[in-house]
Structure 1
């Protein structure tokens, strides 16, 4: 601001606020704490939001807002100037992460109106936390010595210790209320198989943390060498480094219960895993429990296809045919797993026992689907899209042939790419995460206007890119591209 303006103004304007808004205050936690995602993305800086100050349209002119920190009008961390009138959704000032120091601060602003008269707002308090938790120098979880190599974590140990194993977490630097400890248990030192989350509240945050690993989770993750590690995250979303993993030799399968992995009849592979061609699964697949599995009369059996709770998971206790050990997985539970590796297992429920006996996992790799169709355009002939064939104000329309596993719970994204006359990339969205409208031999796939096509370079090649999501937008598969040449 100009040095001729006042150095201290009495607040008269409504306090600003932020978008994204601070986290809800928690007992023992920081006031108006900003999650790190609110300010850490350079492409989406924190917004200091302003309440509009005109009820009627103002005269023409320009106005300026200077946002300052901690009651110091000279400590300006962001500003904007507008030409009146201002749009209702334009009352904000972006603030870069480098302008937000760590700690508890107040945000205020001075609005200088079109008459060059300044007015100051009341303050808004926020807390910025940029420091992640720091783990102990020796960060490994502390397990009972009897379960560490050269000994094993055995079924007998679990039976004698409440069907669980406990590990102490070394004290890390400055634990605070609502920190979260996420721990992992799996077959590799860097496993991403989450075991659980421990949240510290405002009473126990300074107490020693104990990680309790239940026996059913240990058995579900299978026998052999397993690794346990953890990571701390504070309420603002700052994550510590990973702890060093602890190596365990697990032999927790109950004896004499034997529950070897199931099989997928249509897959090729060995005893514990296989590869499934989707073209062999158009009518679904059959999961078979091996004859070696010890299942007694009166026990219930459930087959689990993929991780429970994930897209495309399926669980059944109905053998087909009745009395067999075959379980049918319907064809609408296949496409969600294309290009992925999923677990297939089964559980045996013993009467009077709350926890089931779980089989070892069968790891199934589902191959990618081949033969996806190339999108078609009604204005493309002989590899050329002729602008002159499209009436002014008209469109070029796209269609897609039916593909294997096509279903209305899938989504399409279609985009036309090319360059303009200055060889700059131009991208025109046709469909964006749009549901498949129907299952038919040919479906409509959007259209592009002549006006949009005229943005591309004449004589240049266009790319009509199509992708489909079989798993509710988690992953996308590409169709072959249509690549016509644009001519006048």
Structure 2
């Protein structure tokens, strides 16, 4: 009885294998195995293994195939094939339903040699004996460290920074030093270059890494040491090195060191107050007589002011943005004092005012300005200012005779010290009308000075028609006001009185 039951079971299994074979004798191409490789990057190797992965057996995972019904008598078998090897390099079998955490096979590390590899697996179903192959999975093994080549990859610094890196060099070169990396082998996308800036060439004080992209290939590779990084370690003897780590994690040796002398601490800026030529010491402030600046004035930057050669000092005449303020420059040579020039127009616009004069480094507003010089530009003494004149009165002993005038009188004013087209003039006459009341005639009313008047002076007409409205034998006076600062303030010039209007 028992023998019949056993025979029946065997026969049932035989029929199941037969039907399994009939139905599934042509297994579709199975999905490729997979491994935990490094993420792909543009231009880099596809499915690259890390250095750590190569040190152990490689775990290859796969999906469960269809029609899997393994038993002890008829197990499912998986064979792993590598590259062009005809024999399987690894085999695994299952004699019971396969669990999710069993869907892997290990590839021995002895097969993880340098280069490109391809693997696929073959599954043989236990019940039917039908076999099917998977798609191919390719991966790359890289165990070669980058070779820095001749001279151990010693960095190449610019000639003017190859031995000394100064604060001046950093100022002139964007606050950085750029060194070129000699050609090494192999250069690949994803290579990471780690520079070191240290007091000893040991490769421990790393600066920010540089990772090569596709655009870095085929051209010189550069490493940048910023002024902030250089100054952080202070002045003295310093050593620049680097090492290359490829994407798989293989490291080169530390490069040969470049020894440099660093004096990158910013120049201590000592900027004493400027001086103005021909000004006099008035105690708290200096005083400038504008008649001593008829062609302009020179501002001196003291010889002991701390500048680098070829820097440019920016001199501020007055507070920027205020009326009369100006800015000029002085190029720094080897010896001072250094001179900046202020034009006569700029001097004239400050007549009667107190200025603050300073200087600094051109295009470096972050640096504080120099000690200030307070300068008073005094008013022009009346003795230096011309008096307005009536040509008719000059020719007739101080009288304007209406009977001798054709169209009117000519009123003149000679050029005055520091005259310029930036100034304005008011000129008017005052007399007594026929009704006994004051009468005024304005010839110029805040009128800009013209270029012709700078050399020839002012000449305007006083019409006969207005003069005839005045009472006979009455007095006439001529007045002038000039603004040296475009109308903000007015200076009275000597008036002409004592003129008599007669018939």
TM-score, normalised to structure 1, is: 0.46
Higher Rg of the two aligned structures = 2
By percentage of residues, which structure has more helix?
2
